[in-house]
A and B are shown apart, each in its own frame.
Chain A
């Protein structure tokens, strides 16, 4: 967990971690691609995989989170949880050294997000070793004490 006091501090923190893959509200999915394509496009493009192989990887990640139902949906048809999962997996499949989830309250406005984040990140253990959650300090009471 990284607590920040205001937007300026948040911005400075993100800038200080250029190697991190960001999961953020202002980094949307490609609207004309399905969830599966949005995730698969990363290995397809970066590792020169065929679409089938890249889609298999993306499907396996969605299956680990139990979200395969949304695989063929496009952004406007997604719930906030599905959209978050798609964005998170797009970052996870990139295998970056750090994944930074920026202001989860914005990404998951309709659920009590701290336990959901914990469960999701546990399910992805092994694929994202260093996942940091960036949230405002005033949201700290929402998280379970560690």
Chain B
């Protein structure tokens, strides 16, 4: 075979494999979403997995995460406020800091934190379940792994990301108020007007949608990557690596798309 032909075959094969992997991921996501909105899919077993997922993903890290989010938010807000004052732009300090911290930094930071912590753990666990044949064992015992293991994790993960984002954003708003107006309540009216100006229906919807998409990505992609691992133990790290890289690109894609939606 001529060299260009071999090259094209290889590139074509790679592209096809890439497209197929994304197609399987989308099909898997669609199945999980359908089950999420099917009341019959819920029973005590699935509810228990959802609760466990929320516990491990959100509740367990809550104090540490909020402390970290508060510190980072306060530092960024202070930088923005100080810089704005230095340039005589104090009137815009609150708006700019809320836009930077609440709308952009915190949702991204939350999902990256959960991707590193829970996404990697889910990816590894599912890859090992797949390699050790635990998924087939569940099916053999009459338990649907999609309904019992995977969909509840997706639901729990999405709820966790959304809840952590919401909590850290509320905390950041309080810190922004303190940074700009100090420890007094007389400026709540001014503060509310600025916040209402920032949180237009489009901005609020984009933030909500972005957080939910982040939540779906942070569980769906690691689960699917784990399921794609060939049944050999040495493929477990490769499955995690692929899942995490794919997750990173999807998170960045969602972030850039949301920025484009709001600011372009």
- Residues in chain A within 8 A of chain B (CB atoms): 21-22, 26-32, 41-42, 44-46, 48-51, 54, 90-91, 94
What CA separation (Å) do A28 and B45 show in the bound complex?
19
What CA separation (Å) do A126 and B141 show in the bound complex?
20
Does residue B134 face the partner (Cβ distance < 8 Å to A)? yes
Q: Which residues of B contact A94 (CB under 8 A)?
A: 141-142
What CA separation (Å) do A95 and B199 show in the bound complex?
57
| B47 and chain A: residue at smallest CB distance | A51
Does residue B136 face the partner (Cβ distance < 8 Å to A)? yes
Out of B44, B132, B142, B147, name the residue touching A31 (CB < 8 Å): B132
Beta-carbon contact of B148 and A31 below 8 Å: no
Beta-carbon contact of A32 and B125 below 8 Å: yes
Beta-carbon contact of A30 and B134 below 8 Å: yes
Q: Which residues of A contact B129 (CB under 8 A)?
A: 30-31
What CA separation (Å) do A29 and B143 show in the bound complex?
13
What CA separation (Å) do A30 and B135 show in the bound complex?
8
For the A-B complex with A30-B137, A44-B44 known, give 15 more contacts whose Cβ atoms are closer than 8 Å. Answer: A27-B137, A28-B134, A28-B137, A30-B134, A31-B128, A31-B129, A31-B132, A31-B134, A32-B125, A42-B141, A44-B45, A45-B46, A45-B142, A45-B147, A45-B148
Out of A21, A48, A51, name the residue touching B140 (CB < 8 Å): A21
| A20 and chain B: residue at smallest CB distance | B140
What CA separation (Å) do A44 and B147 show in the bound complex?
13
Given A41-B45, A45-B45, A28 contacting B143 (CB threshold 8 A): no
Does residue B43 face the partner (Cβ distance < 8 Å to A)? yes
Q: Which residues of A contact B45 (CB under 8 A)?
A: 41, 44-45, 51
What CA separation (Å) do A44 and B144 show in the bound complex?
12
Q: Which residues of A contact B136 (CB under 8 A)?
A: 27
Beta-carbon contact of B44 and A30 below 8 Å: no
Could you list some 17 contacts between A and B, CB below 8 A? A21-B140, A22-B140, A27-B133, A27-B140, A28-B132, A28-B133, A28-B137, A30-B138, A32-B125, A42-B142, A44-B45, A45-B147, A45-B148, A48-B44, A51-B44, A51-B48, A54-B44
Beta-carbon contact of B143 and A45 below 8 Å: yes
Beta-carbon contact of A26 and B133 below 8 Å: yes
